[in-house]
Amino acid sequence: MFYEIRTYRLRNGAIPTYLKVVEEEGIAIQRKHLGELVGYFFSEIGPINEIVHIWAYPSLDERERRRAALMNDAAWRDFLPKVRDLIEVAENKIMKAARFSPTGAVAS
C-alpha cells in the first residue's frame, strides 16, 4: 500500500474556516474519487495552523488515475477557490508501508 500524506500550513486562524468548508463540501468530492481516507488531522500542539490528510492507494498508477479523476470533476474545480487562499504552504509525500507496518505493506 502507498500512502499520500498531504500537509498544508494555513494562514493564521484559518483552520476553523478550512475545516468547515472541507467538511461541508470538499471531503465528499474527495472520497468519491480518491477512495480510502486514512485520516484528516489538524495541529493542536507543535507546528500551528497545520492540516494533514492521508490517503491510501494500492499502487501509484491507481493514485494517478484517481487524482486525475478528481481534477476533472467540475464540483472539485468549483470547490478549490474556497480553500486555496487559506493555504500558505503545501507539501505532498508518497510513503510506502514497511512489511511489518500494521497499515499493510506492498509486496516486494
Residues 2-96, CATH architecture: 2-Layer Sandwich (3.30)
Domain residue spans of the chain:
2-96
Who's near 92: CB < 8 A, 6+ residues apart?
4, 5, 6, 7
Please write the tens of the pLDDT for every residue from 47-102.
Answer: 899 999 999 999 999 999 999 999 999 999 999 999 999 999 999 999 998 888 88
pTM of the model: 0.88
Has residue 108 got a pLDDT over 50?
A: no
46 pLDDT band (50/70/90 cuts)? confident
